[in-house]
């Protein structure tokens, strides 16, 4: 049942727009790492710090100090820390790999989440969806295999990111509706910033180049990092708004628009373009993901009218 703000068409348009804009954030991260010479760890820290700095005045203006009054503060901070770790893995991957490859491999996340739901939450997952998960991972292997030969274990970073983001989604379920989206966004920003601050200190003391602490070396770099944080904060708030207008099953397929935007940005900015075999892998991943969404929707429909169906 939708609330009074239900507007599926506007929700779909908003979600589609957000999915086209979000990869700009990752293109900025790749540019700052490859051209700006900034470590992925430092970029990730700035992503959460400037996200918090850009949205906090708006959150306080709308909610006052209630933006900080989380009923489950530690779970929210942990959620932010896990999001920080996932973003770090993603930004490390885009430093070394083509944008489209990283996005394509990352989209095994719905398969991981479905498998975790079956294994840990005992949700019923039939053989068709298990088959779709296996086929989807097969598609990811088609994308990973040539990247692995070139980049080694770095090619597995998007898989690690997908796993961490699946955990992040699990925590969203655990927190449920105990806290408002505004409060969750605020606490996640704090958690991500604190986590990345600690990761930077530990990584730098260990002499890891991907955690080198630095400041932007130009006004352009500073502006791009501000934009990175603003996109992260405000686009995710708009995604929350989209989900208030339309259901998950309606909006979820639009997440694959990110791959289209990533291919375009990679080609325009970094002269990257997927090979035919990688296009095949991307098609398999997207097809398997859409099949799982379709099965979820079919399974949910009778459950609304027949208790215990599924």
Q: Which of 103-107, 168-172, 175-179, 274-278 has the lowest mean pLDDT?
A: 175-179
Q: Residue 247 pLDDT more than 60? A: yes
User: What confidence tier does 176 reach under pLDDT thresholds 50, 70, 90?
Assistant: low
Question: Can you state the percent helix, strand and coil of the chain, rounding each to 5?
Answer: 85, 0, 15
Nearest CA among 192, 165, 61 for reference residue 109: 165
Per-residue pLDDT reduced to its tens digit, 186-199: 888 899 999 999 99
Q: Residue 233 pLDDT more than 60? A: yes
Q: Which of 35-39, 57-61, 124-128, 169-173 has the lowest mean pLDDT?
A: 169-173
Whether this prediction's pTM lies above 0.85 is answered by yes
Per-residue pLDDT reduced to its tens digit, 278-293: 999 999 999 998 888 7
Contact 233, 185 (CB under 8 A): yes
What's the angle, vertex CA 260, arms to CA 257 and CA 261, rounded to 5? Answer: 90
What's the angle, vertex CA 152, arms to CA 150 and CA 157, rounded to 5? Answer: 115
Tokens of 254: 């639009």
| CB half-sphere exposure, 189, CA atoms < 13 A | 27
The pLDDT value recorded for residue 300 is 62
The pLDDT value recorded for residue 66 is 78
In the 8-state DSSP scheme, what is residue 126? -
Q: Residue 200 pLDDT more than 90? A: yes
The pLDDT value recorded for residue 5 is 63
C-alpha–C-alpha distance, residues 119 and 300, integer Å: 19
Per-residue pLDDT reduced to its tens digit, 7-24: 888 988 999 999 999 999
C-alpha–C-alpha distance, residues 281 and 142, integer Å: 5
User: What confidence tier does 270 reach under pLDDT thresholds 50, 70, 90?
Assistant: very high
Higher-confidence residue: 125 or 154?
Answer: 154
| CB half-sphere exposure, 125, CA atoms < 13 A | 22
In the 8-state DSSP scheme, what is residue 217? S
Per-residue pLDDT reduced to its tens digit, 68-117: 788 888 888 999 999 999 999 999 999 999 999 999 999 898 888 888 87
Nearest CA among 198, 189, 210 for reference residue 83: 189
Percent of the chain with pLDDT over 90: 47
Read off the pLDDT of each residue in 55-78 and give the average, rounded to a whole number: 84
Higher-confidence residue: 67 or 154?
Answer: 154
Q: Kindly tell me the burial class for residue 297, based on how many C-beta atoms sit within 10 Å of its own C-beta (0-12, 13-18, 19 or more).
A: middle
Handedness of CA 126, 128, 131, 132 (dihedral sign): negative
Helices 99-106 and 157-175, packing angle to 10 deg: 50
Kindly report the number of other CB atoms within 10 A of residue 31's CB atom.
Answer: 20
The pLDDT value recorded for residue 194 is 96
Tokens of 43: 């970029």
Q: In angstroms, how far apart are the furthest CA atoms of the chain?
A: 61
Read off the pLDDT of each residue in 204-222 and give the average, rounded to a whole number: 94
The pLDDT value recorded for residue 57 is 87
The pLDDT value recorded for residue 27 is 97
């Amino acid at each position: 049942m939708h609330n009074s703000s239900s507007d599926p068409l506007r929700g779909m348009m908003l979600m589609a727009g957000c999915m086209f804009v979000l990869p700009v954030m990752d293109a900025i991260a790749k540019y700052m790492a490859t051209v700006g010479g900034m470590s992925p760890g430092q970029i990730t820290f700035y992503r959460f710090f400037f996200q918090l700095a850009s949205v906090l005045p708006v959150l306080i203006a709308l909610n006052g100090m209630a933006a900080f009054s989380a009923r489950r503060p530690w779970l929210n901070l942990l959620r932010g820390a896990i999001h920080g770790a996932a973003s770090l893995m993603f930004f490390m991957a885009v430093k070394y790999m083509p944008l489209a490859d990283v996005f394509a491999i990352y989209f095994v996340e719905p398969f991981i989440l479905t498998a975790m739901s079956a294994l840990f939450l005992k949700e019923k997952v039939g053989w068709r969806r298990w088959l779709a998960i296996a086929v989807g991972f097969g598609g990811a292997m088609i994308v990973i295999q040539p990247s692995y030969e070139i980049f080694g274990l770095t090619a597995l970073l998007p898989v690690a990111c997908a796993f961490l983001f699946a955990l992040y989604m699990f925590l969203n379920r655990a927190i449920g509706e105990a806290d408002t989206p505004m409060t969750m966004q605020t606490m996640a920003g704090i958690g991500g910033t604190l986590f990345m601050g600690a990761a930077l200190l530990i990584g730098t003391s260990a002499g890891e180049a991907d955690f080198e602490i630095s400041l932007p070396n130009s006004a352009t770099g500073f502006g791009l990092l501000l934009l990175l944080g603003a996109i992260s904060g405000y686009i995710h708030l708009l995604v929350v708004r989209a989900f208030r207008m339309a259901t998950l099953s309606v909006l979820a397929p639009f997440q694959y628009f990110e791959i289209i935007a990533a291919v375009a940005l990679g080609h325009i900015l970094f002269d990257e373009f997927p090979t035919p075999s990688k296009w095949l892998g991307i098609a398999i991943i997207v097809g398997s993901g859409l099949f799982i969404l379709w099965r979820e929707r079919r399974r949910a429909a009778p459950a609304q009218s027949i208790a215990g169906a599924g």
